[in-house]
Amino acid sequence: MTKYFSEQKNFFGNTNPKALIEKYGSPLYVYNETILRKSCVDVAHLINYEKFNADYSIKANSNLHLLKIAHEEGLHADAMSPGEIYVLLNAGFKPEEILYVCNNVSEDEMKYAVEKGVCTSIDSISQLKQFGRVNPGGKVAVRFNPGVGAGHHEKVVTAGKKTKFGVNLDLVKEIKDIANEYKLKIVGINQHIGSLFMEADPYIQGVKSILSVAEQFEELEFVDFGGGLGIPYHKQENQSRLDIKELGKKLTEIVHEWMSRYGRNIRVRIEPGRYVVAESSILLGTVHAIKKNYGIKYIGTDLGFNVLARPVMYDSHHDIEVYRSGEIVDGEREPVTVVGNICESGDIIARERLLPLIKEKDILGVMDAGAYGYSMSSNYNNRLRPAEVLIRQDGSDMLIRRRDTFEDIVRNFEV
Ligand SMILES: *Cc1c(COP(=O)(O)O)cnc(C)c1O
């Protein structure tokens, strides 16, 4: 077995990191179509049940070209904002293939979804009343908070007693009363307990609890189990994968058993974001400076937290590969701290990481960068957001989003 992720997957197809940087510039998000399609297939067929579909949560990555690929593989989608609905409609998703899972939105933002024919899931009593005023007599879904959550970091635990999300389970009666008042039909129940679980159990527990909530509603058209399926970010330490087959098998049993109890076969949805896109991308960057400050060796790159925010935002780990002249660098290692070019001392991608001996002009590959990578990038420090390139199934490369230009960062001043 080869050691490196990019080699194992023939990630760069007919080209290599050096050629890509020369052609498209640095830094650069590179995506692999074969890997993306494989993850789409994993989730699209997770549960063996006729009325199952996976809604890709596009906040993880909303590149239009990648969305089209996900759609081709049969995924529907979750949107968190009118902008995401807009992008999805542009990518060819039908309104009925989109669920708008919103949080603290304005009346206008709700109206937008209603006008586009997109189903909305609201997550508080006050937002349900607002929906009733915007669309009396309409259909709506409700997001519940089962009181327990899970996740890899406090900031991504999205249910439980200390988060802003969802309606408390003891408010079912109040939800029904408000629905009656505005003649709303509650057609869906959803939840999302958190992100990046690597074992099936917490998810299964969450599913059982949302199904017991669903039983209290008679007219449901769907129940939605949420996302959060994890991927192994520590591949260089042989971290094992989430057993997706086993998860699928367990969920399939639970779903069939529950439907016979409910008396009707309603639609079942899940909302994976990260799982779909994370492993399909390697972020490339260039080493511009190397120095030692008081005993710590710093590798200075163009990979600031404006390009990839996860390490700074969540203390996230991303494996790193080193490339020189298109080849992977291996051999003797030393501990280094990899930093970006943003004027903040917190601008750190990897702290005290054991990496092969690095030289200026080497290219670094940051693994598993496809989810919450580009989508969380910014123009902080008036830096230009990078280009995105797709390695197609035939091994050729294709630009799927151009790099920002200086004109882009002054565009909105033209008023
Ligand atoms: C972010 C989010 C998801 C996707 O989470 P992942 O961990 O990327 O799978 C799903 N549902 C909701 C409501 C979300 O906010």
pLDDT tens column, 285-334:
999 999 999 999 999 999 999 999 999 999 999 999 999 998 999 999 99
Tell me: do 203 and 314 sit in the same domain.
no
> Do residue 251 and residue 382 come from a single domain?
no
Instruction: Look at residue 415 in the predicted model and tell me its pLDDT.
Output: 76
Q: Kindly state whether residues 308 and 171 are assigned to the same domain.
A: no
Binding site membership of 273 for ligand 1 (Cβ less than 6 Å): yes
Residue 292 lies in a domain: yes
Q: Which helix (H) or strand (E) holds 250?
A: helix 244-262
Ligand 1 atom with the smallest distance to the CA of 165 is: 13
Q: Is the CB of 280 under 6 A from ligand 1?
A: no
Of 245, 271, 297, the last residue of a domain is 271
Q: Ligand 1: which of 62, 271, 279 to mutate, judged by most atoms within 8 Å of the beta carbon?
A: 271
Tell me the C-alpha distance between 407 and 341, whole Å: 21
Q: How far apart are CA 246 and CA 197, in angstroms?
A: 14
Instruction: Specify burial of residue 150 (Cβ count, 10 A radius: 0-12, 13-18, 19+).
Output: buried
Residues 129 and 145 in one domain: yes
- Ligand 1, atom nearest to 59 Cα: 1
| Beta strands at 327-328 and 76-79: parallel, antiparallel or unpaired | unpaired
- Ligand 1 atom with least separation from CA of 196: 7
Q: What is the number of structural domains in the chain?
A: 2
343 and 224 fall within a common domain: no
Phi/psi at 137 (5° precision): 85, 0
Question: Are the C-beta atoms of 226 and 271 separated by less than 8 Å?
Answer: yes
Question: Does 193 fall in a domain?
Answer: yes
Which of 248, 271, 294 is a domain's end point?
A: 271
Same domain, 160 and 24: no
If you measure from the C-alpha of residue 215 to the centroid of ligand 1, how many angstroms do you get, rounded to a whole number? 24
Is residue 184 within 8 A of residue 128, CB to CB? The reply is: yes
Q: In this structure, is residue 415 part of a structural domain?
A: no
Average pLDDT, the chain: 95
Per the DSSP assignment, residues forming a β-bridge with 53 are 269
The answer on 226 and 154 residing in a single domain is yes
Q: What's the CATH code of the domain at 326?
A: 2.40.37.10
Distance 57 CA to ligand 1 centre (A): 6
**Span between the terminal Cα atoms of the chain, in Å:** 58
Distance CA 59, CA 370 (A): 11
- One domain, residues 227 and 332: no
Cβ 59 under 6 angstroms from ligand 1: yes
Reported as a single tens digit per residue, the pLDDT across 66-79 is 999 999 999 999 99
Range(s) of the domain holding residue 160: 47-271
Whether ligand 1 lies within 6 angstroms of the CB of 229 is answered as yes
64 & 205 share domain: yes
In this prediction, the residues of the chain whose per-residue pLDDT falls under 70 are 1-2, 148-152, 156-158
Same domain, 310 and 263: no
Q: Which of 40, 102, 119, 343 is catalytic?
A: 343
* pLDDT value of position 7: 94
How far apart (Å, rounded) are the C-alpha atoms in residues 412 and 141? 36
Q: For residue 24, is it within any domain?
A: yes
Task: Please tell me whether the peptide bond between 146 and the residue prior to it is cis, using omega within 30 degrees of 0.
Answer: no
Distance 91 CA to ligand 1 centre (A): 20
Which pTM does this prediction carry?
A: 0.96
Give the helix/strand (H/E) hosting 42: helix 33-44
> Is the CB–ligand 1 distance for residue 194 below 6 Å?
no
Establish whether 40 is a catalytic residue: no
379 vs 410: CA distance, rounded Å? 11
Kindly state whether residue 40 falls inside one of the protein's structural domains.
no
**pLDDT of amino acid 162:** 72
Kindly state whether residues 56 and 188 are assigned to the same domain.
Answer: yes
Same domain for 91 and 238, yes or no, is: yes
